[in-house]
Structure 1
Amino acid sequence: MMAQVQVKEEKTIPNAVKFVMGGSAGMAATLVVQPLDLVKNRMQLSGSGGSKAYKTSFHCIQDIIGKEGVFALYNGISAGLLRQATYTTTRLGIYTWLFEMCSTGDKPPGFFTKAGLGMAAGIAGAFVGTPAEVALIRMTSDGRLPLAERRNYKNVFDALMRITREEGILTLWRGAIPTMGRAMVVNAAQLASYSQAKQLLLGTGFFSDNVGCHFAASMISGLVTTAASMPVDIAKTRIQNMKMIDGKPEYTGALNVLSRVIQQEGFFALWKGFTPYFLRLGPHTVLTFIVLEQMNAAYYEHVLGVKKSKGSL
Structure 2
Amino acid sequence: SLRLGLYEPIKHSLGHTDKRNTPFYIKFLAGGISGMLASSVANPTDVLKIRMQAMEKDHHNVLWHIRDIMKNNGVLGFYKGLQATIVRAIMLNATKLSTYDHIKHTLINLGILEEGYLCYFIASTCAGMIMATVTAPFDIARTRIMNQPHNKKLYAGLTDFLIKTIRNE
TM-score under structure 2 length normalisation = 0.88
Structure 1 unpaired stretches of 5+? 1-22, 24-88, 266-313
Aligned to 1:139: 52
- Equivalent residue for 2:61, pick from 139, 145, 154: 154
From 144, 159, 167, the equivalent of 2:73 is 167
Q: Within 2, Cα distance between the matches of 1:173 and 1:195? A: 31
Deviation at 1:208, TM superposition (A): 1.5
- Deviation of 1:158 (Å): 4.4
Counterpart pick for 1:117 among 12, 30, 33 = 30
1:250 aligns with 2:154: yes
Shift in alpha-carbon separation, 1:99–1:108, aligned structure 2, 3 A = farther
Displacement of 1:240:
0.2
Q: 1:228 matched to which residue of 2? A: 134
Q: Find the aligned partners of 2:16 and 2:166 in 1 and give their Cα distance.
A: 42
1:95 — aligned with what? 7
Partner residue in 1 for 2:40: 127
Mapped contact 1:95–1:118 kept (Cα < 8 A): yes
Which has the larger share of helix? 2
Deviation at 1:97, TM superposition (A): 1.9
- Pair 1:238 & 2:144 matched: yes
Instruction: Specify whether residues 106 and 263 from structure 1 end up closer, same or farther in structure 2 by C-alpha distance, changes over 3 A only.
Output: closer
Contact 1:99 1:108 in 2 (8 A): no
1:248: Cα distance to partner?
3.9
Give the letter for the 2:93 counterpart: N
Instruction: Note the C-alpha offset of 1:137.
Output: 1.0
The alignment partner of 2:55 has SS state of: helix
Q: Which amino acid aligns with 2:54?
A: S
Identity of aligned residues (%): 29
Displacement of 1:210 in angstroms is 1.1
Aligned residues of 1:174 and 1:240 also touching (Cα < 8 A): yes
Structure 2 Cα separation of the partners of residues 234 and 221 of structure 1: 20
* 1:262 to partner: Cα distance: 2.6
Determine the C-alpha separation between the residues in 2 that align with 1:250 and 1:112. Answer: 36
Gaps of 5+ in 2: none
Query: Contact conserved, 1:175 with 1:240, CA < 8 A, in 2?
Result: yes
C-alpha displacement at 1:99, in angstroms?
3.1
Q: Offset at 1:212? A: 1.2
1:195 aligns to what?
101
State the alpha-carbon separation in 2 of the partners of residues 167 and 115 from structure 1: 35
Q: CA RMSD in A?
A: 2.0
Q: Distance in 2 between matches of 1:120 and 1:189?
A: 12
Q: How far is 1:107 from its partner?
A: 4.1
Structure 1 contact 231–258 (Cα < 8 Å) conserved: no
| Residue identity matched to 1:241 | N
Contact 1:191 1:221 in 2 (8 A): yes
The alpha carbon displacement at 1:106 in A equals 5.3
Partners of 1:111 and 1:193 lie apart in 2 by 8
How big is each residue's C-alpha offset from its partner over 1:40-61, in whole Å with a ceiling of 9 and x where there is no partner? xxxxxxxxxxxxxxxxxxxxxx
